[in-house]
Chains A and B, each alone.
Chain A
Amino acid sequence: MEGKIRILIAKPGLDGHDRGAKVIARMFRDAGMEVIYTGLHQTPAGIVEAAIQEDVDVMGLSILSGAHLSICAKVFRLLRERGMEDMLVLVGGTIMDEDIPRLKELGVAEVFPPGSPVDAGVKFVQNWVAERGKRSGSSF
């Protein structure tokens, strides 16, 4: 794959606390990635559809309501249905430590619970890109 990494930052569910999502979106943009922000109140189906339309490499979900397990289960079911289970999915928000392994079982690549530094997501994606480059023998 050539060009900039494309990332979808999404706010699923009814939670409207988007301070974190907006800060993280700018961090990704400043790191040279192409950021698409969905806005509030998105359904899992709408998010997966947006990811397809925008042809993104990474999906970042911001969830502060506590409903992360059911939202992520729905997102991954839809991704599998569309043959996109390889999508790198990151989740940030009000997530209890004991839920992290459960999110990872669903397929979430990394979880950023309260207290995560704001640049943790960018660093994670940069490492992932570097690893992927090494594996495929190409570089961005």
Chain B
Amino acid sequence: MDFKEEIRQARISWEKEKGVDKIPAVKSELGKEVKVVYGPEDVSEGDYLATIGFPGDYPFTRGVYPAMYRIRPWTMRLYAGFGTAEDTNRRWKFLLKSGNNGVACAFDLPTQMGIDSDHDLAQEEVGRVGLAMDTLRDMEILYEGLPLDKIVSSFNINAPGAILLAMYIALGEKQGVAAQELSGSLSNDILCEYVSRGMWVFGPKPALRLTTDIVEYCTKHLPKFYPFNIRGIIMREAGASMAQEAGFAFSNAIAYIEEVLNRGLKIDEFAKRVSFFFATGTQIFEEAARYRAARRLWARIMKERFGAGNPESMLLRFTGTVGGSTYRAQEPENNLVRGAYGLLANVLGGVQGMLHPALDEPFAIPSEETARLALRTQQICAYETGVTKTVDPLGGSYYVEALTDEIEREIVEILRKIEEMGGAVAAIEQGYMQRSIADEAYRTSQEELVGKRVVVGVNRFQAEEKKRKTEFHRWDPRMQEQQIERLRQVRSERDQAICRKALDELSRSAAGERNLIPPIIEAVKAYASIGEIMDALKEVFGTYREPLCI
């Protein structure tokens, strides 16, 4: 009898003797039964080196790099942007002084939709949930005193992503920084917008062309820039389970990669510049296991499906953040604690970078005080808790290894379903991801309502509601006027003929097959606004209507 069989036999008698069947049943986040205790018999029979192995070695279950946090901790950033470029420049400088590594730019809704600040639909939205960006002039002010060869920037923007990239390149040129020196990332993930959050403008086909143009251009000219930061988080925050988040993000990524390959690029030319962004909840072991599973699965997809040869192409590099949807409005101080546990899960899961939400996330964008507290939470975890001392400290835990296998199977199943539907775009057009997410959001909300899912201070241990503190960040309407004033000034000062010519050239290029980044750069340099550039593209691309799934 082999040793695992021996343990199985022993378990049967132990369960009988101790009456284990009477211990209350517990389910995982994915609805699977969780055993009372795990042992060697629960860990897969597979070859240790082939399935778990060493950090920095295929399939990277234990981590993408051999040293992980022993050389330096994860990249710590706060997502920041509000008001005008001046407002955001001040906030960024404050955060950088507090130890923020680089900047993660939050744009307002008009910018994310490619609409100018003086457009009807933009009124009262300018500078609210992020920074207003109309023309290259705003970009120049935003980076005043921040040389682009010394800063890492991440841009969370999809539909007009190509325009923001063009502005960044144009600003680099003005500052005397060559494109190949620019480092940072652009989310460039339009498919997640059709699934949730809705910041789409064009239909999937032209949108995917822009996505691919960005990747092609960056591969040739911006070797230090990540042209993809694929956003599982957008779907997770809309309600997706942790397995759906990874599965949907992977299937979107597969769709992009296929487009880029069709363009004629080789997988090892660009795959090392694909990165991800996931949300993390407070279920520490399941989240950490999920990241281990995702890392292993992504490496296999890249190697086996796409034939990547360079190990760098197989790495699942990800930013993780505690999902704002795990935070609650009641007793907002508790969110600090939720955030700390969630970020621990990220670290145990082997995260490369973190944005961390501030405790006032349910109400508003953070104040200086709460923003700093969110950064401090990361710094304390990195420097005071010792969790960074060894790589993948949960590796070898019977429970975590069993969870890793189970969650991996779950993600594989989701990918198989989407594949059967004809891939990510077809699955989105059929509303599959949207419906799955709405179902999951509904299920968890019902569980919370009846108290099956405990949220402290909300549906258990509720305290008498105190008067809520109101020192939240407030929107200043004067800022909208200033922004519109600046836009009008830029429009009146620019050379209209050059600007018109650049926009016409862009429309012509859009009707043809040329890569659109160079004509967008020309339009940006002529101080055409985001709205004007989007309009030039809309002439050719049209706009999108969503299928309704509730």
Of the 9-residue stretches B191-199, B207-215, B251-259, B485-493, which lies at the interface with chain A? B191-199
Q: How far, in angstroms, from A50 to B351 measured CA to CA in the complex?
A: 46
A83 near B: Cβ within 8 Å? no
CB of A14 within 8 A of CB of B363, answer no
Q: How far, in angstroms, from A66 to B479 measured CA to CA in the complex?
A: 15
**Given A14-B115, A23-B442: A96 in contact with B198 (beta carbons within 8 A):** no
Q: How far, in angstroms, from A23 to B448 measured CA to CA in the complex?
A: 13
CB of A23 within 8 A of CB of B445, answer yes
A25 near B: Cβ within 8 Å? yes
CB of B550 within 8 A of CB of A16, answer no
B441 near A: Cβ within 8 Å? yes
CB of A16 within 8 A of CB of B193, answer yes
CB of A115 within 8 A of CB of B329, answer yes
Q: How far, in angstroms, from A29 to B550 measured CA to CA in the complex?
A: 10
Interface residues of B in 67-112 (CB under 8 A from A): 109-110, 112
Proximity bits, A88-117, B CB within 8 Å = 1, else 0 = 000000101110000000000000011101
Proximity bits, B457-473, A CB within 8 Å = 1, else 0 = 01000000000101010
B129 near A: Cβ within 8 Å? yes
Interface residues of A in 17-34 (CB under 8 A from B): 17-19, 22-23, 25-26, 29
B484 near A: Cβ within 8 Å? no
Chain A residues, CB < 8 A from B115: 14
B535 to chain A, nearest CB (A): 17
A67 near B: Cβ within 8 Å? yes
B123 near A: Cβ within 8 Å? yes
Interface residues of A in 29-66 (CB under 8 A from B): 29, 35, 37, 39-41, 43, 65-66
What is the predominant secondary structure among interface residues of chain B facing chain A? Answer: loop
**Given A17-B197, A65-B109: A37 in contact with B362 (beta carbons within 8 A):** no
B390 to chain A, nearest CB (A): 38
Chain A residues, CB < 8 A from B329: 113-115
Q: How far, in angstroms, from A117 to B446 measured CA to CA in the complex?
A: 10
B333 to chain A, nearest CB (A): 14
**Given A14-B110, A35-B550, A115-B329: A67 in contact with B124 (beta carbons within 8 A):** yes
Q: How far, in angstroms, from A94 to B129 measured CA to CA in the complex?
A: 11
**Given A23-B445, A113-B329: A37 in contact with B125 (beta carbons within 8 A):** no
Number of B residues whose C-beta is below 8 Å from A? 43
**Given A16-B193, A94-B363, A96-B470: A67 in contact with B125 (beta carbons within 8 A):** yes
Q: How far, in angstroms, from A39 to B200 measured CA to CA in the complex?
A: 13
B370 near A: Cβ within 8 Å? no
CB of A115 within 8 A of CB of B442, answer no
**Which A-chain residue is minimally distant from B549 (CB atoms)?**
A22
Q: How far, in angstroms, from A104 to B182 measured CA to CA in the complex?
A: 50
B422 to chain A, nearest CB (A): 24
A71 near B: Cβ within 8 Å? yes
Q: Which of B109, B193, B328, B549 contacts A115 (CB 8 A)?
A: B328
B449 near A: Cβ within 8 Å? yes
Q: How far, in angstroms, from A119 to B550 measured CA to CA in the complex?
A: 17
Chain A residues, CB < 8 A from B362: 94, 114-115
B431 to chain A, nearest CB (A): 12
**Given A23-B445, A115-B329: A94 in contact with B110 (beta carbons within 8 A):** no
**Given A13-B109, A14-B121, A18-B238: A26 in contact with B198 (beta carbons within 8 A):** no
**Given A16-B198, A114-B363: A26 in contact with B442 (beta carbons within 8 A):** yes
Q: How far, in angstroms, from A81 to B325 measured CA to CA in the complex?
A: 38
Most-contacted residue by chain A among B115, B198, B329 (CB, 10 A): B198
CB of B548 within 8 A of CB of A94, answer no
CB of B449 within 8 A of CB of A18, answer no
B285 near A: Cβ within 8 Å? no
B239 near A: Cβ within 8 Å? yes
CB of A40 within 8 A of CB of B198, answer yes
Chain B residues, CB < 8 A from A70: 123-124
CB of B238 within 8 A of CB of A65, answer no
Q: How far, in angstroms, from A119 to B325 measured CA to CA in the complex?
A: 18
Identify the B interface with A (CB < 8 A).
109-110, 112-113, 115, 121-125, 128-129, 193, 196-199, 237-239, 325, 328-330, 362-364, 438, 441-442, 445-446, 448-449, 458, 468, 470, 472, 475, 546, 548-550
What are 13 contact pairs spanning A and B, CB under 8 A? A13-B125, A14-B115, A16-B199, A22-B438, A23-B239, A23-B442, A26-B550, A37-B550, A40-B198, A41-B121, A114-B329, A115-B458, A118-B446
Identify 5 new A-B residue pairs, CB closer than 8 A, beyond the known A43-B121, A66-B475, A114-B328. A13-B121, A65-B128, A69-B124, A114-B329, A119-B449
| Minimum-distance CB pairs A-B, first 6 | A16-B198, A115-B329, A114-B329, A14-B109, A40-B198, A70-B124
Identify the A interface with B (CB < 8 A).
9, 13-19, 22-23, 25-26, 29, 35, 37, 39-41, 43, 65-67, 69-71, 94, 96-98, 113-115, 117-119
